[in-house]
Amino acid sequence: MKTLQMVFTAGSTTGTISLREPKDGLTLAAVQAVAQKIAADGVFADVNGKYSEFVKAQMIERTVTELA
């Protein structure tokens, strides 16, 4: 399973958005463009000011194995 996580800040507080199964070949520039749109549209609740600064994006990959 692969997850794209975008991290935003508002002062000293951080907020994240995680998306499962992002498409292959995503670039940082593409993610930054989306993150800027999300921050500008104010989709986060107003906690200590708007989450207006995009900090980073990370791709998290892990394998989940069910125990039988």
Listing DSSP states for 3-63 in one string gives EEEEEEEETTEEEEEEEESPPTT--HHHHHHHHHHHHHHT-S--SSS---EEEEEEEEE--
Q: Using 50, 70 and 90 to split pLDDT, how confident is the model at 44?
A: confident
pLDDT of residue 13: 83
Per-residue pLDDT of 57-67, as tens digits, reads 999 998 777 78
What's the predicted TM-score (pTM) here? 0.76
- Mean pLDDT, to the nearest integer, of 2-9? 91
